[in-house]
Chains A and B, each alone.
Chain A
Amino acid sequence: MSPAFLLRRLLLAVPTLFGVAVVVFVLLRIVPGDPIAMMVPGEATPEDIARLRESYGLDKSIPMQFVIYLDHLVRGDFGVSISLKQDVLTLVLGRLPATLELALVAITLSVTCGFTLALASTYWRGTWIESGVDAINSIALAIPEFLWAMLLILAFAVLMPLFPISGRIDPMRATAFATQFYLVESLVRGQFGLARELLGHLALPALALALPLIAVIARVLKSSLQEVMVQDYILLARIKGFSNLRILTREALPNALLPTITLTGVHFIFLVGGTVLVELIFAYPGIGNMLFGAASNRDLPLIQGVTLVFALLFILLNIAIELSYALVNPRLRH
């Protein structure tokens, strides 16, 4: 993969982000609801409201507001949250690591489980293992992530209280961290007790996010593997005398990766989008949860900030997916 390609993709992100900024800005001005009315106490006078409106720049015309917004944006100023009275960028960056850790654990879980299921059902083709995997897949696919979230809470937090229902960590212990990447930091420092607690909190939300993607990966990888297994080069590998396991994992799997990444790539983006609802359900302090709070308070600058960060995440994820095509296919490397 050439650096030029990477640069071009990153530059292309700029107009995309601009487009997102426009659409979100316009949409937020169209939908009813007044942020100022929601924040002022009942006894406020019309003058008070007008003054507040002016201080947030909401008294100007919409095009003028947009120009000012853009002007601030290109200087790295995302504005000030109306409901939380803090710098939007600081707020978003403070919460982003929690969401990234959740998404990362969910993606790792999806890939590990999806691959294991696909490989196992190909290796034991035609046995009960294959039928079992197919059944699990159908169930996992039929239920969306937020429903999984509820079911998992019911099963593993209420009926069998194995995992905490909500939050990221006991707030008393959160002070121990120097960064917001709690999980990464605790692992780097070798504080495995803390890491275990964090993972305990992550388990159910990550699983809820992962289940649909596990099913998608397992299904797509399994069918690509079956296509690959009848190819001539697999026959040659068998004739070379390699074991079935080696043929499956070392000869067939690398060839099955490309169609799998192509067909599942967009689902990774769905997963990141799914964090909004799942964070809300598990009261997990990430940007998804913050977005929900911002939306119910009509906190326009905060909504715009979180949306832009999500858009940026999606774009970066897309580029990562494209990079991985080249990684698994020698024909695309030039």
Chain B
Amino acid sequence: MILDIENLRVSINAKGTRTPVLRGAHLQLEQGKILGLVGESGGGKTMVCKAILGVLPESARIESGAIRFEGRDLLAMPARERRGLLGRSIAMILQNPMTALNPVFRIEDQMTDVLRLHAGLDRAQARARALEMLTAVHIREPERVLRHYPHELSGGMCQRVVISIAFSCSPRLIIADEPTTALDVTVQHQILRLIRELQRKTGTSVLFITHDLGVVAKICDSVSVIYAGRILESGPVERIFSSQHHPYTQALLDAAPRYDRPDTALHPVSPELREQLAREAEEFDRRVDREVAHA
């Protein structure tokens, strides 16, 4: 188990009131596997990523829980040591590639800085490694791309660069937060295939976040379904797609485009189901509050 999140509760302070955004999340990612975290927008997926990386917004507070990376609880680790893992052992692919790269620096600088910091390479070695990585993400003319600024590249190209940065220091865990959501449909497929390919080649474990169960079916080994900060269901991909499951998962399945059968109608999640889930979430909060009050 490379990543084991247990009962993670995070709240956000918005205008004086604390709102729970993660209500006891559980996640388990096995070494060398891809775990899909799926749910609608606003469900708390990005919060999970930021909690793992320790980059939650200032208004957020971790109420309880544990985030174990290779058996060690990140939340109990000294800040310095925890930061030492970033870039080197844990890397991330952001949702919007067009804003993920620093607009005032050339691609070369943004690829080599992390290599020089973590892999101890000198300028020439880091450049060679950057070229190697750009080739690995199937960028033609990598020499030319190194000289470019981000605004001179397309979204797909930027995402390839971001992916190559994430993989460049051979991290053991990569978190990909909706890495294809901001891209054109044709590019989405290429990027998905690329992540799968690199993951197979390097054996890196990946936490893959998406709102699209169709994507999960394509590249994940197992999946967890999140709604309103709670994990409703977890399991191997085959089981989620074949057997009995939570009504929300079913609703998500109905709402996902079927790439194999493009003519089937899409069914959005029904308002009744949303209401039921909201009630459950509230009840959950109350129960937790009671438990906290008793403890």
Contacts and interface: CB of A to CB of B under 8 A. Distances in A.
B147 to A, nearest CB: 11
Interface string A224-248: 0000000111011111111100000
Nearest to A235: B55
Interface in B91-144: 91-92, 94, 96, 99-105, 113-114, 117-118
A329 interface: yes
B94 A240 contact: no
DSSP class of A's interface residues: helix, strand, loop or mixed? helix
Contacts of A8: none
Central interface residue in A126, A238, A241, A254, by most chain B CB within 10 Å:
A241
Contacts of B105: 254
A233 B102 contact: yes
A173 interface: no
B86 A241 contact: yes
Contacts of B55: 235, 238-239
B23 interface: no
Nearest to B88: A241
Interface in A311-331: 328-331
B67 to A, nearest CB: 15
A243 B96 CA distance: 23
A231 B96 CA distance: 11
Contacts of B100: 232-233, 235-236
A255 B105 CA distance: 10
A17 to B, nearest CB: 35
Nearest to A126: B58
A240 B101 contact: no
B102 A240 contact: no
B182 to A, nearest CB: 11
Contacts of A255: 102-104
B162 interface: yes
A325 to B, nearest CB: 12
Contacts of A130: none
Contacts of B84: 241
Nearest to B92: A239
Contacts of B118: 241
B53 interface: yes
Central interface residue in A240, A328, A329, A330, by most chain B CB within 10 Å:
A240
Contacts of A251: 102
Contacts of A235: 55, 94, 100
A232 B96 contact: yes
A158 B22 CA distance: 63
B162 A236 contact: yes
Given A233-B99, A330-B149, A241 B83 contact: yes
A241 B117 contact: yes
A240 B117 contact: yes
Contact of B104 (A239, A240, A328): A328
B156 interface: no
Chain B: number of interface residues, binned into ranges: 20 to 34
Nearest to B101: A233
Contacts of B83: 241, 243
Contacts of A126: 58
B117 A329 contact: no
B6 to A, nearest CB: 23
A241 B101 CA distance: 15
Interface string B204-234: 0000000000000000000000000000000
Contacts of A237: 102
B151 interface: yes
Given A232-B94, A329-B104, A331-B151, A239 B99 contact: no
A258 to B, nearest CB: 8
B87 interface: yes
Central interface residue in B55, B101, B103, B162, by most chain A CB within 10 Å:
B103
A294 B255 CA distance: 82
A241 B87 contact: yes
A236 B101 contact: yes
B20 to A, nearest CB: 23
B262 to A, nearest CB: 33
Contacts of B103: 233, 255, 330-331
A231 B99 contact: yes
A241 B104 contact: no
Nearest to B54: A238
B102 A239 contact: no
B61 to A, nearest CB: 15
A40 B50 CA distance: 82
A241 B117 CA distance: 9
Contacts of B53: 238-239
Contact of A240 (B58, B87, B99, B151): B87
Nearest to A330: B149
Interface string B59-103: 000000000000000000000000111111001101010011111
A244 to B, nearest CB: 9
Interface in A68-117: none
Contacts of B104: 254-255, 328-330
Interface of A: 126, 231-233, 235-243, 251, 254-255, 328-331
Interface of B: 53, 55, 58, 83-88, 91-92, 94, 96, 99-105, 113-114, 117-118, 149, 151, 162, 165
Given A233-B99, A241-B83, A255-B103, 13 more contacts: A232-B94, A233-B102, A235-B94, A238-B53, A238-B55, A238-B86, A239-B55, A239-B86, A240-B117, A241-B87, A242-B113, A254-B104, A254-B105
6 contacts: A232-B96, A232-B99, A237-B102, A239-B91, A242-B117, A254-B102
Q: Report, nearest first, the 9 A-B pairs whose CB atoms are least far apart.
A: A241-B87, A241-B86, A232-B99, A240-B87, A233-B102, A240-B114, A254-B104, A330-B149, A239-B92
